[in-house]
Amino acid sequence: MSEQVLSPLDEELLRLLLLGPFQRAEDLARLLGQHANLLREHLAQLSTVDLVQTITPGFLGRNSGQFAYLTSRGIAHLARLAKEPRGPFAKHWQVDLAGLARHLLRLPAYAHLQTGLPDLLQALGQALREHYAPQERTVPWYWLRDYHYSFRQGHTWTRVATDGLIIFRPHLVHPHGVGLPSHLDLTYAVWLLLDPGIGEADTFTRRLIALLKLRERRWIEEGIADFPPLIIYASSPYRAAIWRRAARGASAYVRAEPLAGMIQIASPLSTDWWPPGILVEARHDAAEGPEWSDLVTGNRSRLAQIFAQPLAEAALPPAIEHYFLAVPVAAPGQMATVVPVPRIRAANLTERLAASAQGSSPWDETVAESPSAAGDERSVPSSPSETAPPETTLPPPPTRLQAMTLGHLALNVTRRQIQALAVLAAHPVMPLRELSTMLAVTPETCRTTHLLALLHQGLIAPIRVYCPDLDLLLTPPPSAPANRVIESYQVSAKGVALLSHFQHLRQRRGNPTTDPDLLAEGLTNIHQHNIGLYHFFARLIAAAREQTALHRLLWWETGAACVRRYAQKRHPDGTIVWGTIRPDAIAEYAWGTRHLRFWLEWDMGTMGHQMLLEKLLNYTWYAQTRALYQDAPRSLPVLFIVVPEYGQELRIARILQELIDARILDPKGNLMVRTTTFALLAEAGPLAPIWRPQLPQPYVVEAVNASIVPFIAMLDQIRPLPLFVKP
């Protein structure tokens, strides 16, 4: 073999890839303060001697870049410097084959967080200029992935789990100010959490409770008052509102001040790969950036405000030394290392995972739900001799075989296929026609290009749903049979496991049947109702694409994520009467710079007078509470109801009139109710003049609060838009 001399920069690259596999040249450039092109050249040289290899994961898209990782030869080189056996060394640093597979499943989250690092560095620099005005500054920083820490209070274990932790240690020279030294070293730290795009507030409340308990424990036992702030990356304003409710719920549960932090609401035009599921395509004919807001109040804010106050050194999160153990480097004074160059190139990661997955046992659903042995995940308990129970909101750590199987699957699916899988998981039993509309492809392309590949990998299974009353809604030809069987798909146990690790959230798997014909009468109405909702939003997305202006459906939610519990009445003795609204869906539509958030009720004709009365009462009371403006401070409550026939519209009008006569409902209040029928929706589409105004009365909206005048004025200005044309 020939020999290759490694420079100190090459050694530093190997060390960083040992600390964090799968990094791009741009990510390494931020860490080292070097130009990305220079690091690409060094990575290419390391690749020629088979110390480093790169991959471009298909599930992140073609433009995501090349991610570098250590090969077996690179691991052996660092193990030789550390004077340790290669096998235990690789397993300890989680860079063996199973460790790389586990990192691969978290790569969408890592890539998203690393993309946001420049904003954090820029905000920190702005805060340092405002508060210290240094002549010179250097900002070393440290990046931790998937921080875990477990501690016990009494007989109860608490586990802190975040997607990342960043520590900044800026060094300032000649800061201006009274009493400040000529040199000043500061410390900042920020927790990072990613919204998975699914899940309810209760799920995230448990994670925030753990952080609050850690803060209170350190204050009581160690006297440390400082605590790092929290940054949450949310995909939509509604998801941000869910996290704010979770923060308030965690504060009430622990009976402590809420966590300090900020939420980033992603731009609706973002083409980033997080979260993995996407329901509408991004539009590029406008420029909108992300929005930052306070975690508790929801008020807009600047990111630099999160760095207004530095932390004490003792306030850094506990056990971080477990993450920054001594990394093997060359001996002191040794400026270069000589390594042999192989003649035959080793197999890449895809080939190694494929070889490991071959001949493995079929995916066992019971094994998929069981946690692996201790040591599979780098968790730091308070005592090395004790182990903490797994976090119930996180997916169980995969076993070695499961990690390699899922890693091989991840490398063999495309971004569009992952999107289709995420949509099917979030919205079960979605028909092929509606799914293809969501993904902006034809049904045939959706079936042959995306679904067949997922079927071949065993990630989904076909299911045919019996829906006899969808003929009117789907407008079939006259020759179509009266009863239809809708082609749909469900996510398999293997697909649930793959998405759980991508989204870092334990998925609630239902009871997938092995029979493709789902004809049970008890499930027919449920699936029929859900398919109607999917059809409505598919029609709305398709209609938005046909508009000449910038029309788009920003986001939509169905199921438990739409449920909202609010304080309906507070008695003098402190007791609270709670109310709940359960819309079938909630969504936000935008045209230009104007946004409309609305609830959707899909009535299959099964709601009688009493059920309609209770539902409308809950909407009426919720529209009068502060909870509405905490969730959507810049929106009015708008309710759309789709009913089977005109008679049901008349029943809704009579119920609203009863509430008005009883002085429960203000006819000129801020609650807006619009109704339409299946026939009108199928004939003209949701953007056509099909909506019958029920509230407010009269139909000219008058201002009742100065804070909502701009939105009301906006509604008055959109009269040419058919959505609100009066009959």
471 and 577 both lie in a single domain? no
Q: Is position 359 within any domain? A: no
Burial class (CB in 10 A: 0-12, 13-18, 19+), 580: exposed
Six-digit token pair at 404? 């390699």
What is the pLDDT confidence band of residue 708, given thresholds at 50, 70 and 90? very low
218 and 122 both lie in a single domain? yes
357-376 average pLDDT score: 41
Angle at 203 between CA 364 and CA 563, to 5 degrees: 110
What is the pLDDT confidence band of residue 391, given thresholds at 50, 70 and 90? low
188-202, 301-315, 449-463, 482-496: the lowest-pLDDT one: 482-496
Look at residue 24 and tell me whether its pLDDT is greater than 60.
yes
d(CA 562, CA 554): 16
303 and 393 both lie in a single domain? no
Look at residue 147 and tell me whether its pLDDT is greater than 50.
yes
Which residues lie closer than 8 Å to 328 by C-beta, 6 or more apart? 15, 18, 78, 79, 81, 82
d(CA 157, CA 151): 6
655 and 548 both lie in a single domain? yes
CATH number of the domain encompassing residue 423: 1.10.10.10
d(CA 367, CA 158): 25
- Strand 183-185 and strand 171-173: pairing? antiparallel
For residue 229, what are the domain limits?
Answer: 116-322
133 and 260 both lie in a single domain? yes
Torsion, Cα of 693, 699, 704, 710 (10° steps):
80
Give the model's pLDDT for residue 69. 94
d(CA 410, CA 109): 14
Six-digit token pair at 393? 């909101």
Give me the helices (H) in 255-382, please.
349-357, 365-368
Total domains in the fold of the chain: 5
- The whole-chain average pLDDT of the chain stands at 77
Task: Determine how many CB atoms are found less than 10 A away from the CB of residue 217.
Answer: 16
Six-digit token pair at 82? 């550390």
d(CA 310, CA 375): 34
Q: Is position 110 within any domain? A: no
First to last CA, the chain: 84
Question: Of 519, 543, 568, which closes a domain?
Answer: 519
Q: Is position 525 within any domain? A: no
Residue pair 336/5 in contact by the 8 Å Cβ criterion? yes
393 and 437 both lie in a single domain? no
Give me the helices (H) in 132-200, please.
none
303 and 220 both lie in a single domain? yes
d(CA 280, CA 257): 38
3-state secondary structure of 577: strand
478 and 620 both lie in a single domain? no
Six-digit token pair at 538? 């598919």
What is the pLDDT confidence band of residue 58, given thresholds at 50, 70 and 90? confident
Which residues lie closer than 8 Å to 419 by C-beta, 6 or more apart? 276, 277, 278, 439
d(CA 667, CA 699): 10
Residue pair 596/640 in contact by the 8 Å Cβ criterion? no
158 and 306 both lie in a single domain? yes
167 and 296 both lie in a single domain? yes
Please name the helix (run of DSSP H) or strand (run of DSSP E) that holds residue 27, with its range, or none: helix 25-32
pLDDT tens track for 583-635 = 999 988 887 777 788 999 998 887 788 888 888 888 888 888 777 776 766 66
Which of 40-44, 110-114, 263-267, 654-658 has maximum average pLDDT? 40-44
Q: Is position 617 within any domain? A: yes
Burial class (CB in 10 A: 0-12, 13-18, 19+), 105: buried
Q: Is position 360 within any domain? A: no
Say whether the peptide bond before residue 478 is cis (omega within 30 degrees of 0).
Answer: no
Give the model's pLDDT for residue 263. 94
Q: How many distinct helices (H) and strands (E) make up the chain?
A: 25, 27
133-145 average pLDDT score: 81
CA distances from 55 to 132, 348, 688 (A): 43, 9, 48
Angle at 397 between CA 20 and CA 216, to 5 degrees: 80
Give me the helices (H) in 384-487, please.
400-410, 415-426, 432-438, 443-445, 452-457, 471-474
Q: Is position 16 within any domain? A: yes
Q: Is position 651 within any domain? A: yes
pLDDT tens track for 47-57 = 998 999 999 88
Q: Percent of the chain, pLDDT > 70?
A: 75
542-552 average pLDDT score: 80
Six-digit token pair at 124? 């920190």
479 and 589 both lie in a single domain? no
Six-digit token pair at 140? 């070393």
Give the residue with greater pLDDT, 317 vs 476: 317
168 and 202 both lie in a single domain? yes
Q: Is position 205 within any domain? A: yes
Look at residue 713 and tell me whether its pLDDT is greater than 60.
no
3-state secondary structure of 445: helix
